[in-house]
Amino acid sequence: MRVLFLGDIVGRTARNDVIEQLPLLRDELALDFIVVNCENAAGGFGITPKICDALFAAGADVLTTGNHVWDKKEIIDYIASEPRLLRPLNMAEGTPGKGIVQVTNAAGKRLVAVNLMTNLFMAVNDPVFPALNDALVRNKLGRDADFILIDVHGEATSEKMALGSLC
């Protein structure tokens, strides 16, 4: 399976380049899925519904975010209704949106994308380790997905490395 993950789009120039290049990359690389971290695509801070729609129209299958997801308030209603735009899974219960999604392409291949945020040096969220463990217990490679992509947003490399040991 061929999956392209792009991150982190920061600002207008990068955003426009990604939107222009995604269709070409999908064809040239024979991609099954494209996942893009977009949390800073709106002028370097946040994401808007219009930008999400443009990224989806260009060929992104899933959009992930991080701690800047709420920088543009107009995203709140959009993220609640668009399951392919993820916010970190381990944000507090009741936070709009989802942190995990399964998408299926035209060939029937299934991708599960998980978006997480670490705890060290970041705003307070639910503990990341149980959140990842639960996501992997509920979504098994082969049974539920042909590919599982985990986008970990955080500051401490040590915490990211420790999360990798769970996979």
How far is Cα of residue 123 from the mean position of the Cα atoms in its chain? 18
- Reading the block at residue 133, the tokens are 């463990």
Given the residues 68, 87, 110, 153, the one annotated as active site: 68
What is the longest distance spanned by two Cα atoms in the chain?
A: 41
68 is catalytic: yes
Strand partners, 85: 63
Instruction: Say if residues 96 and 80 touch (Cβ distance below 8 Å).
Output: yes
Residue-wise DSSP of 85-125: BB--TTSPTT-SSBSEEEEE-TT--EEEEEEEE--TTS---
Q: How far apart are CA 122 and CA 13, in angstroms?
A: 27
- Which residues are designated catalytic? 68
